[in-house]
Amino acid sequence: MSKDFNKGITQRIIFIQILIVVIIFLLGAKSFDIQIFQAENLTKKAENDYASYITIKGERGQILDRKMYELATSIDAISITACPKKIKDPHITAQKLSKILGINKKTLQTKLSTKHMFAWVKRRVPPDQANEIKKLNLQGIYFENDSKRFYPNKHLAAQIIGFTGNDNTGLEGLEFKYNSFLEGSSSKIRIKRDGNGGILNLDKKRRKDLKGNSIVLTIDKKIQFLSEQTLEKTVKKHRAKSGMAIVMRPTTGEVLSIAHFPEFNPNNFKGYNNTIYRNRAVTDAFEPGSAMKVFTAAAALEKGLAPNSIFFCENGTYKIGTFTIHDTHSHAWLSINQIIKFSSNIGTVKIAEAIGDKVLHNYLADFGFGDKTKIASPGETSGRLIPYNKWSNIDRGAISFGQGVSVSAIQLLSGISAIANAGKLMKPMLIKKIVSSKGKTLHAYHPQTIRQVISKKSALQVKNMMNLVVDDDGTGVKAAIDGYTVCGKTGTAQKALKNAKGYSKKKYTSIFAGFAPKNNSELAILVVIDEPKKQYYGGDVAAPAFKAIMAESFNYLNIAPEKTKPMIALLSTGEKE
């Protein structure tokens, strides 16, 4: 029995040994399978839990003024993320977040109800909202560094610059037109998270490396500010509907400012009516009224008429078919110089009759009317200049003094600048250069001559006429600046009726366009005031604004007064200034 017992024990030991060997073999085989055959799949599974790939976008490039002052830039912001797998109650979490962030609660709840380790809740939230959410201490909700578009000067040049949406994509203005240049590059990167789903290695430097290009404008921040300030005062003083003011260098076509009122803050663009977003100086056309007369006079001079050529102005009333043309003040015989000085509608019509439809049309077209200037701003209008073979007699007369033709503000000032620039039309410049994130100039823009519209002689003769406009008895006397020879032209355009033929007797557009000094003109300025109340003549409403912007800009640019004849005479007597 002892032998049988020992035999049984031995068999059990052998069985256990065999069993242990088998178990060890199976464990080794399983371990081998895991480490060798399943290693790749298991590694990916682990990485899916604690690492994944997201697409990040580089910081948006800046928009700068001509002196490299920031007009649009990017600042650090907070983006809110979630680890849905860690959220115990998606309904409550979504409810709390949607209330603060203004997100649809059901959409957010669906996003937070998945078993994923990562999800975006909202990108680039304001600091106050981020802080409010942080105080809630919600499980599975995290805060990541990001960048957000910021406009440090608030409303300054807002209609030029435009703005971006929540995804940092341009929606209006230069932000929209040059979005492909400004937006940063995209990159798909691998991120790791901690055990709670928070991102461990979203490198801020990587965003900097993907930064977009920057745009340097011809705009001067100081002159833009002076223009906006003066325009606001003018619109409010005359209780007008709106206003525009443009400042340009006639010799280069560089635009130093484009001001609008009402204004808006692009940092909070949703708080404003979207009708004020656009750059109306480029996108909107209007009838220029008497400001068009200088171009009619220029055409006449080119066809051989002299500044002292005289026309009978019918003592203030002139019939063309069934239509009657009126002058504000009655005149008999006036020279072309006087017709421009006193802004005679009838005299201008007589000039147009003398040169004919084709000549007038072709010179207006050469000055750029009826065609886009191709300025670097979206939505430009070409205005309206109908072909001369479709003109009636009244069309010719009306167009000669600025009715029946429509222009944009940038077109009108470009034409005026051509007269200041010895008859040479320049392409309006809004952008100086595009610069890479490393500071390298990728593209530089230079002044571009479109054409020689009129001769230097004719341009000088028109300048002399425009200088007479600001004389004591001229229509633009309120634009005169002591020490400078100012050249300008008033415009008071009746607005066309919207739902009927003809023109309103109560709604006007008040205009003053001009430049200074007469010789070697430094600046050309256009002021347009829409629907001023009570006073509405361009000489009363727009001319004083022109004067203020020009005088302050000259002071800022250190453009010294000219040595006028009275000053020279005074010095010659030995008297002190």
Which residue from 394, 422, 402 is spatially nearest to 490, judged by alpha carbons? 402
Per DSSP, the three-state class of 166 is coil
**What's the rounded Cα separation, in Å, for the pair 122 and 166?**
9
Residues in contact with 84: Cβ distance below 8 Å, sequence separation at least 6, in sequence order: 90, 111, 112, 113, 114, 115, 116, 117, 119, 140
Which residue from 159, 242, 279 is spatially nearest to 530, judged by alpha carbons? 242
Question: 């005359």: which residue's tokens?
Answer: 238
DSSP letters spanning 83-126: -GGG-S-HHHHHHHHHHHH---HHHHHHHHTS--S-EEEEEEE-
Give me 26's structure tokens.
Answer: 């199976």
Helix (H) or strand (E) holding 188: strand 186-192
Within 270-366, residue ranges assigned H as helices are 280-283, 293-302, 336-342, 345-355, 357-366
The beta strand positions in 328-447, using DSSP E, are 333-335, 424-426, 431-435, 441-444
Out of 74, 227, 257, 290, the active site residue is: 290
Give me 140's structure tokens.
Answer: 């599975």
Give me 557's structure tokens.
Answer: 């640019």
| Burial of 122: CB neighbours in 10 Å, binned 0-12, 13-18, 19+ | buried
Within 113-220, residue ranges assigned H as helices are 127-136, 158-161, 173-177, 179-182, 204-209
**What's the rounded Cα separation, in Å, for the pair 495 and 500?**
12
CB contact at 8 A, 483 and 453: no
Catalytic (active site) residue 290? yes
| Burial of 439: CB neighbours in 10 Å, binned 0-12, 13-18, 19+ | exposed
**What's the rounded Cα separation, in Å, for the pair 212 and 170?**
13
**What's the rounded Cα separation, in Å, for the pair 334 and 350?**
11
**What's the rounded Cα separation, in Å, for the pair 8 and 433?**
97
Which residue from 383, 450, 387 is spatially nearest to 410, judged by alpha carbons? 383
For residue 504, give the amino acid letter. Answer: S
Give me 244's structure tokens.
Answer: 């525009």
**What's the rounded Cα separation, in Å, for the pair 525 and 243?**
13
For the chain, give me the number of helices (H) and strands (E)?
A: 20, 22
The Cα diameter of the chain in Å comes to 155
Residues in contact with 354: Cβ distance below 8 Å, sequence separation at least 6, in sequence order: 300, 305, 311
CB contact at 8 A, 450 and 426: yes
Q: Hey, which residues are catalytic here? A: 290
